[in-house]
């Protein structure tokens, strides 16, 4: 049973929707193509359940971008997960064939970090606007999923049972036949704090 109310889950869905919607405008200009988005799904999960959910999406190599952010009285981290190969195909469309073979590996991690950075920051900007709070975000860091999972587990000395809020959205560049997805992860306790702040700020 969810510990978030239906309205709180709806707010999370809408925040990801806003973030991805705005990010897609930036990314579509880079890709010179329109980006189609699905309706977001939101679930409360532990790491084991998250692994299962990721497996359902195709079980591909997953990578993550982790960003810490803080306000006056609050600090947390958000993580974005996406399928590495599919997202790289999208990145290649964005930069054309200008990738130099010698630095492809470095370039790929930088490019994926930048895509993650755009999406995370647009989500954060919307949370900041809705909650009337100023957040300062640190530099985003790129991780493989295995390493990223370790980062999640290490947060607050938690275990595999720790609850996370996970929201996912599918995206596609229809004319180029490319598709992928992103997952936004947030500690459930931190998510509740942010949701309370948003609802108070909106006067709801």
Partner 1 sequence: MADYEMALVIDDSRFARMMIRKAIEEIAPGCRVFEAESADDALERLEQLTTLYDLLDLITIDHFMPGMKGFDLAKILMGRCANALILIVSSNTQDAFQEEVAQLGVGYVDKPIDREKLEIALAKYGREDE
- Tell me which residues touch partner 1 (CB under 8 A): 6-7, 10-11, 13-14, 17-22, 24-25, 28-29, 34-35, 37, 39, 126, 129-130, 202-204
CA 69 – CA 127 distance, rounded (Å):
12
Residue whose CB is less far from partner 1, 3 or 129? 129
- Least distance CB 68 / partner 1 (angstroms): 24
- Least distance CB 73 / partner 1 (angstroms): 23
Residue whose CB is less far from partner 1, 14 or 49? 14
87: number of Cβ within 10 Å: 23
**What are the tokens at 126?**
């919307």
- Least distance CB 181 / partner 1 (angstroms): 16
- Least distance CB 203 / partner 1 (angstroms): 7
Residue whose CB is less far from partner 1, 34 or 61? 34
Residue whose CB is less far from partner 1, 63 or 123? 123
CA 202 – CA 148 distance, rounded (Å):
33
Element (H, E) at 83: strand 74-83
Residue whose CB is less far from partner 1, 110 or 174? 174
Nearest to 40 by CA among 184, 164, 177: 184
Give the helix ranges, DSSP H, for the chain: 6-31, 47-56, 84-95, 104-131, 145-154, 188-202
- Least distance CB 189 / partner 1 (angstroms): 20
Tracing tokens 């990801």 back to the chain, one arrives at 16
Residue whose CB is less far from partner 1, 20 or 194? 20
In eight-state DSSP terms, residue 136 is E
- Least distance CB 38 / partner 1 (angstroms): 9
Strands 178-187 and 136-137, bridge-based pairing: unpaired
Q: Are 64 and 148 in contact (CB under 8 A)?
A: yes
């Amino acid at each position: 049973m969810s510990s978030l109310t239906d309205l709180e889950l709806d707010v999370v869905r809408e925040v990801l929707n806003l973030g991805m919607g705005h990010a897609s405008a930036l990314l579509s200009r880079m890709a010179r193509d329109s980006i189609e988005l699905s309706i977001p799904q939101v679930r409360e999960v532990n790491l084991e359940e998250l692994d299962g959910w990721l497996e359902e999406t195709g079980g591909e190599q997953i990578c993550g971008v982790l960003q810490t952010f803080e306000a006056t009285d609050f600090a947390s981290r958000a993580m974005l997960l996406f399928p590495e190969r599919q997202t790289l195909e999208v990145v290649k469309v964005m930069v054309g064939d200008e990738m130099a073979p010698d630095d492809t590996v470095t370039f790929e991690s930088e490019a994926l970090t930048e895509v993650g950075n755009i999406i995370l920051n647009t989500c954060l900007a919307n949370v900041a606007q809705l909650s009337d709070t100023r957040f300062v975000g640190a530099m985003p860091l790129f991780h493989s999923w295995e390493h990223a999972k370790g980062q999640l587990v290490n947060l607050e000395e938690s275990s595999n049972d720790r609850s996370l809020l996970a929201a996912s959205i599918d995206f596609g560049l229809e004319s180029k036949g490319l598709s992928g997805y992103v997952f936004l992860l947030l500690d459930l306790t931190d998510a509740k704090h942010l949701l309370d702040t948003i609802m108070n700020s909106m006067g709801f």
